[in-house]
Amino acid sequence: MSISAPPLLEMRGISKGFPGVAALSEVDFSVRAGEIHALIGQNGAGKSTLMKVLAGVYQPDKGEICVDGQTLRFASPRAALANGIGIVYQDLSLVPKLSVADNIFLGREIGGGIFVDQQAINARAEHILGDLGVSGIDVRHRVMELPLAQQQLVEIAKVLSHEPRILVMDEPTAALAEEETMLLMRLLQGLRARGIAIVYISHRFKEIMALCNRATILRNGQLVKTITIAETNESELIELTIGERVESFFRHNGRAARAGVPALEVEHLRVGRAVRDVSFVLGQGEILGITGLLGAGQNELARALFGLTVETSGTIKRLGKPIMLHSPKEAIAQGIGLLTEQRKTEGLVMPLAVRANLSLPSLNTFRRALLFLDRRHEGERTSAMSAQVRVKTPSLEATVGTLSGGNQQKVILGKWLLRDLEILIFISPTQGIDVGAKAEIYAQLSELAQAGKSIIVISEDLLEILGISDRMLVMYQGQLLRTFDRSDADEEHLLAAIQGTSL
């Protein structure tokens, strides 16, 4: 990349408001060809909105967009795509019921005449995924049957198949584990070498330091600074993002599980072919971290503990007594809650208000008499929780669908924290959550455990697992490979274990 190269993309003085929110105020942003440019900022800072203005999803209130020196305005994402602007959105835009191949070629014809040449489509899709270095995805499978990370890879393949000149990735690695992340990094480096201008949105500063040429930081809809990566470091980036010095990150306070009957005992659990003969114990007041490569069975395990899987065998004991978990309802009755990684489909009711989403699962606790909701009590508790998990919203009456991605994730967290459940299972709890709020959420989980709740955190983020867990389980190909105590766990040993070897 030549420093003197004029920017391929230049956005000048962009402003965009929503009811009650100035999402962007006079933001300048430019990207050169052959550059990976990070766009960073806290949840709700305006990152996704800026990119949606670029893509023609939103029209700006003010400002202009130049591509290759030409002022352009896109009426729709389709128009932007036709002009070489491809965006991988934070919330995937795939059609769940269609196959992988059909999703990649949606809206495009292949083969002549009126007949769709399904074989040609499948072959092309396979070719595109192969080019990406992705293996193990059957292009004939419906997208809804794939785990989130594979869906993410399909989404990326779909956008790349249009061969964009400007490529925007809105938190592409949030759902990816170590291996896929590496794959994506290599891919982006290859695209950069071919002269594509890449915008990379992420809350993971290590990735940004390793991958990007420059970074632009947004805070509250305003431009803070554009900075060259070679001239900065991780802590400066974090500081610019939060707007204050970060002294200490989350520190584990070395808690031990309480003596007595375990909160949960899992014996010889099997879930289809995904989980094979797994046994472990969750102590009361303990935070148990479970990690592994993508598809090692950890998500299926969590889903089984919440009654979401059918083909399950083995024994699960709650406070020493065997229980049956055939549905989420039965799980909740046993005091077990699950926060999933699929916020669109499982976590939230998008058209409802933030408040309603927070209180929905807890309605019974807000009922005074049989039918009357205690509105005041509901109001107080939901307001307090929303502040605790730091949801950024113009009001609690705003619909959840208008919140930024990270803020939606905070609402899901808050919703489960509000319920008085004894066992909480979280899959990737801080996926898409900014650095500032992350530490806060870890501290809250720790407090809950201190108060006697038992918590399982499933995450592919090793630093998260190390930072928060009292004990750690590593799964490999559906089996429990190793257990670590806090005292004998470090990144190196965990990394070896998730890959199936032990140091």
Ligand X SMILES: Nc1ncnc2c1ncn2[C@@H]1O[C@H](COP(=O)(O)OP(=O)(O)OP(=O)(O)O)[C@@H](O)[C@H]1O
**With respect to ligand X, which residue has the nearer C-beta, 32 or 390?**
390
When asked if residue 335 is in the footprint of Mg ion (CB under 5 A), the reply is no
* Phi, psi (degrees; rounded to nearest 5) at 107: 80, 0
When asked if residue 431 is in the footprint of ligand X (CB under 6 A), the reply is no
Residue 21: which of Mg ion, ligand X, none does it interact with, CB under 5 to 8 A by kind? Answer: ligand X
CA distance 304 to 51: 38
Q: How big is the site for Mg ion, counted in residues (CB under 5 A)? A: 4
Q: How big is the site for ligand X, counted in residues (CB under 6 A)? A: 20
Among 204, 318, 392, 453, the residue binding ligand X under the rule CB under 6 A is: 392
* Phi, psi (degrees; rounded to nearest 5) at 32: -95, 160
Instruction: Find the shortest distance in angstroms from Cβ 354 to ligand X.
Output: 10
Going through 32-148 in order, the beta strands assigned E by DSSP cover 36-40, 62-67, 70-72, 85-88
When asked if residue 430 is in the footprint of ligand X (CB under 6 A), the reply is no
Give the residue closest to ligand X by C-beta: 406
CA distance 311 to 109: 40
**With respect to Mg ion, which residue has the nearer C-beta, 85 or 121?**
85
* Cβ–Cβ under 8 Å, residues 457 and 287: yes
CA distance 154 to 139: 9
Instruction: Find the shortest distance in angstroms from Cβ 41 to Mg ion.
Output: 9
When asked if residue 56 is in the footprint of ligand X (CB under 6 A), the reply is no
**With respect to Mg ion, which residue has the nearer C-beta, 87 or 287?**
87
When asked if residue 355 is in the footprint of ligand X (CB under 6 A), the reply is no
Scored b (16 or more CB within 10 A) or e, 322-335 reads ebebeebeebbebb
Amino acid at 319: L
Residue 402: which of Mg ion, ligand X, none does it interact with, CB under 5 to 8 A by kind? Answer: ligand X
Q: Quote the tokens at residue 296.
A: 């090692």
Instruction: Find the shortest distance in angstroms from Cβ 434 to Mg ion.
Output: 10
When asked if residue 386 is in the footprint of ligand X (CB under 6 A), the reply is no
When asked if residue 403 is in the footprint of ligand X (CB under 6 A), the reply is yes
* Cβ–Cβ under 8 Å, residues 289 and 254: no
When asked if residue 46 is in the footprint of Mg ion (CB under 5 A), the reply is no
**With respect to ligand X, which residue has the nearer C-beta, 33 or 53?**
53
**With respect to ligand X, which residue has the nearer C-beta, 222 or 483?**
222
When asked if residue 285 is in the footprint of ligand X (CB under 6 A), the reply is no
When asked if residue 219 is in the footprint of ligand X (CB under 6 A), the reply is no
CA distance 152 to 341: 13
Long-range Cβ contacts of 343-350 (<8 Å, 24+ apart): 343/91, 343/408, 343/409, 343/412, 344/91, 344/92, 345/96, 347/408, 347/412, 347/415, 348/400, 348/408, 348/411, 348/412, 349/400, 350/399, 350/400, 350/401
* Cβ–Cβ under 8 Å, residues 216 and 38: yes
Query: What three-state secondary structure class fits 354?
Result: helix
Residue 43: which of ligand X, Mg ion, none does it interact with, CB under 5 to 8 A by kind? Answer: ligand X
Among 386, 404, 430, 459, the residue binding ligand X under the rule CB under 6 A is: 404
CA distance 89 to 169: 7
CA distance 289 to 273: 22
Query: What three-state secondary structure class fits 292?
Result: strand
When asked if residue 48 is in the footprint of Mg ion (CB under 5 A), the reply is yes
Instruction: Find the shortest distance in angstroms from Cβ 214 to ligand X.
Output: 18
Q: Which stretch binds ligand X (CB under 6 A): 47-55, 287-295, 381-389, 452-460?
A: 47-55
Residue 347: which of Mg ion, ligand X, none does it interact with, CB under 5 to 8 A by kind? Answer: none
**With respect to ligand X, which residue has the nearer C-beta, 284 or 393?**
393
3-state secondary structure 160-207: HCCCCCEEEEECCCCCCCHHHHHHHHHHHHHHHHCCCEEEEECCCHHH
**With respect to Mg ion, which residue has the nearer C-beta, 40 or 81?**
40
User: Footprint of Mg ion on residues 63-92 (CB under 5 A)?
Assistant: 90
Among 7, 34, 46, 60, the residue binding ligand X under the rule CB under 6 A is: 46
Rg (CA), the chain: 23
Instruction: Find the shortest distance in angstroms from Cβ 406 to Mg ion.
Output: 7
When asked if residue 406 is in the footprint of ligand X (CB under 6 A), the reply is yes
Among 5, 6, 18, 186, the residue binding ligand X under the rule CB under 6 A is: 18
Angle, CA 195 vertex, CA 190 and CA 198 arms, to 5°: 75
When asked if residue 405 is in the footprint of Mg ion (CB under 5 A), the reply is yes
Kindly list the strands in the beta sheet with 62-67, ordered across the sheet, starting from the edge strand earlier in the chain: 21-31, 9-18, 62-67, 70-72
Q: Quote the tokens at residue 170.
A: 């809105």
Q: Which stretch binds Mg ion (CB under 5 A): 366-374, 398-406, 421-429, 469-477?
A: 398-406
When asked if residue 429 is in the footprint of ligand X (CB under 6 A), the reply is no
Tell me how far CA of residue 240 lies from CA of 46, 168, 268, 414, 439, in angstroms.
15, 22, 49, 27, 17
User: Footprint of ligand X on residues 82-141 (CB under 6 A)?
Assistant: 90
Among 307, 405, 467, 478, the residue binding ligand X under the rule CB under 6 A is: 405
**Residues of this chain that bind ligand X (CB under 6 A):** 18, 21, 23, 41, 43-49, 90, 392-393, 402-407
**Residues of this chain that bind Mg ion (CB under 5 A):** 48, 90, 404-405
